[in-house]
Amino acid sequence: MSTTELRSDTPAPGAVADVDWWRGAAIYQVYPRSFADQNGDGTGDLAGVRARLPYLRDLGIDAIWFTPWYPSPMADGGYDVADYRSIDPLFGDLAEAERLISEALEFGIRTIIDVVPNHVSDQHAWFRAALVAGPDSPERERFWFRDGRGEHGELPPNGWESEFGGQAWSRVIGADGVPEQWYLHLFAPGQPDLNWGHPDVLREHEEILRFWFDRGVCGIRIDSAALVAKDADLPEVADEHHPGNHPYVDRDELQGIYRSWRVIAESYGPERVLIGEIWLPDAERFARYLRPDVLHSAFNFDFMASPWDATALRASIEQTLDVHAKVGAPATWVLSNHDVTRPVTRYGRVDTSFSFDAKRFGTPTDLALGTRRARAAALLAMALPGAYYLYQGEELGLPEVEDLPLHLIDDPMHARSGGVDPGRDGCRIPLPWSGNRPPYGFSPNGHRGETWLPQPADWAAFTAQAQAMDAASMLSLYRDALRLRRDLPALGSGSLSWRDLGPDVLAFARDDGFVSVTNFSGGPVDLPAFDRIWLTSAPLEGGRLPADASAWLEST
Ligand code: GLC
């Protein structure tokens, strides 16, 4: 592919020429390590994704978001990037990524990549140079190196805590074996935080954006987008901070950083978009990132983390639509990603909400109930106004794998919690594609080696092949729903009006008489008058919508 073919003003082919595509898109998250393995090493790769593009087209998605695919020591599953201008050899090479981007476009599928501005890998050239150059060097100014407190500098510079548990500082041991300065890492020690007050950091990221926009990517997912800027005085975190003035969360100067990114995205045309990973409890502060000259879009984690409860979900939906409308941005709806417990597992528990702090081994789960609710949740979320993000395996209804042998758990969240938190590997298991036993078509036929994380012995019924032939499967539900999202102009971006069917039912109309109904009550409920049923998540019972089910209706 010649990179100029896909540049800026070149119209994208066919169905993807729409500049507002992202406002109502269905975007599928690929975790490359676990999607499909073409070369037989037990780890997914880009050739595996290329081979499965027909599957993704048939699923009915508009774009793929790839979690980081760059060279990385994998201290945090690739979120420790060593070099943004290349592809990890585990996954392929740059030429293969270029082929994948252009082949996907031929299938009408755009590509979104992940950029991780908060930190790089400790193997990144900048950090290695900083270690060699020593204290007070210009190389160290791109990071947060500080002397320790205490008589011998033996205490970290402040008490900030890592998002993964433990302290957010590690001490450098010099070549002579003598401990010297400390460096900041809000995540794992292999992920040193960058200093966004440094002009090199800003310039480098602008070049990274251009590098990938030049190669035809249509969007950038911005990792940990609200944590990137720091108060250079590195003050302690207090109980309360004025909005915008926390030492490292949601600082006001982030708006200027992302405005400069927006200018670059716009220079490539209105269809190139910036999507923030923004976890903030304050919806108004969240929406500031979505003003017309800042980011285009951000993940709606409030909805994702809400319990399976009509009142809580309605409150989340109303607040979401309200704050997005004020800034003219489309809402997004998310049920899962590579960081959170799989929905069929989450919704099968006594506590159906999600929080990182609450994750524990051995939480009792009713998977049949959780699956029923996850089906209903998918139709609810896909009927709401805005974009829908789905994470690989969600369409197969995969459960969280909770019995991985402890020594195989790779996610740093597990070890840094002292082994209390199971970590996130349970939602990152290699996908089951076909067949009756591991590797279920994930690796090539005849492959006998282990996949990088082991797959359960009882996943034969979850394979894409088995589900494709079963009209009642999760895959069939997702295919039908995503196809209707494409076919019915009422779905995707737009607005909704609530219909009152009682406190335990969420019902709303979109344009053209499209109505979505979700039943949270313990028993069946009557549906409103309808002309036709587009889709239900469970069979009706005597013409009524059963508990924990959704229906899509035409009702004029
Ligand atoms: C984001 C990613 C997560 C990663 C973290 C640090 O939250 O989604 O997987 O561990 O950032 O980069």
Neighbours of 53 (CB within 10 A): 16
Ligand 1: centre distance to CA 79 (Å): 6
Catalytic residue selected from 45, 88, 193, 223: 223
Question: What's the pLDDT score for residue 5?
Answer: 36
CA of 389 to the centre of ligand 1 (A): 16
Q: Give the whole-angstrom CA distance, residue 90 versus residue 43.
A: 7
Return the pLDDT at 445: 76
Pocket test for ligand 1, best of 118, 124, 187, 356 (most atoms within 8 A of CB): 187
Q: Give me ligand 1 centre to Cα 485, in Å.
A: 29
CB-based contacts of 81: which residues, under 8 Å, 6+ apart? 68, 70, 71, 72, 116, 120, 121, 124
Helix (H, G, I), strand (E, B) or coil at 196: coil
Which ligand 1 atom is the nearest neighbour of the CA of 337?
Answer: 8
Query: Is 402 assigned a catalytic role?
Result: no
Mutate to test the pocket of ligand 1, among 29, 224, 249, 341 (most ligand atoms within 8 A of CB): 224
| Cα separation, 142 vs 406, whole angstroms | 36
Q: Which protein residue has the closest C-alpha to ligand 1 atom 2? A: 223
Write down the pLDDT at residue 556: 85
42: its two tokens: 């037990």
- Please work out whether the CB of residue 316 comes within 6 Å of at least one atom of ligand 1: no
CA dist 207 and 101 (Å) reads: 19
Q: What angle do CA 404, 470, 338 make, to 5 degrees?
A: 35
The strand pairing partners of 28, in sequence order, are: 64, 390
| Nearest Cα residue to 336 out of 301, 370, 380, 366 | 301
> Ligand 1 center to residue 11 CA distance, Å?
33
User: Would you say the CB of residue 301 lies under 6 angstroms from ligand 1?
Assistant: no
Spans of the chain below 70 pLDDT: 1-17, 446
Q: pLDDT digit string (tens) for 516-528?
A: 999 999 999 999 9
**Residue 491 corresponds to which tokens in the numbers above?**
């779905």
Ligand 1 site, residue 223, Cβ cutoff 6 A: yes
Is 277's C-beta closer than 6 angstroms to any atom of ligand 1? yes
Kindly state if the Cβ of 116 falls inside 6 Å of ligand 1.
yes
Taking the CB of residue 167, how many other CB atoms lie within 10 A of it? 16
Nearest to 309 by CA among 353, 243, 271, 272: 353
Tokens of 269: 């045309």
Confidence (pLDDT) at 14:
38
Please name which of 80, 87, 264 lies closest in space to residue 190, comparing C-alpha atoms.
80
Which helix H or strand E contains 466, and what residues bound it? helix 464-468
Task: Name 145's bridge partners.
Answer: 183
pLDDT of residue 17: 60
Q: Is 480 a catalytic residue?
A: no
Give the side-chain half-sphere CA count within 13 A for 48: 27
Contact (Cβ atoms closer than 8 angstroms) between residue 339 and residue 424 = yes
Structural domains in the chain, CATH included, are 2-118+195-231+243-314+329-468 (3.20.20.80), 125-184 (3.90.400.10)
Is residue 155 classed as helix, strand or coil in its secondary structure?
strand
